């Protein structure tokens, strides 16, 4: 179970929407550095932040995040 890593398609979806990392960070109340870390799989977002990202990108959780 410890080897499970939460992956995501945030960068792809963000690019489809024409939203920059800075714009997404502002929409969800975090920093650009946090968005970069999430996109690279370095940082696992809290449930609240993941939900806010889904809302900002008009996507379902399952569309953006996976194992």
pTM score of the predicted model:
0.92
Placement of tokens 């969800």 in the chain: 28
Q: Return the residue matching tokens 């993941």.
A: 50
Each residue of 10-67: pLDDT tens digit?
999 999 999 999 999 999 999 999 999 999 999 999 999 999 999 999 999 999 999 8
Read off the tokens for 15.
Answer: 């690019």
Q: What 3-state DSSP class applies to 66? A: strand
43 HSE (CA, 13 A, CB side): 16
């Amino acid at each position: 179970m410890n080897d499970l890593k939460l992956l995501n398609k945030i960068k792809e979806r963000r690019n489809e929407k024409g939203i920059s990392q800075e714009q997404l960070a502002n929409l969800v109340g975090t920093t650009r550095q946090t968005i970069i870390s999430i996109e690279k799989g370095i940082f696992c977002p809290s449930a609240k932040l993941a939900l806010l990202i889904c809302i900002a990108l008009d996507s379902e959780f399952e569309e953006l995040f996976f194992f």
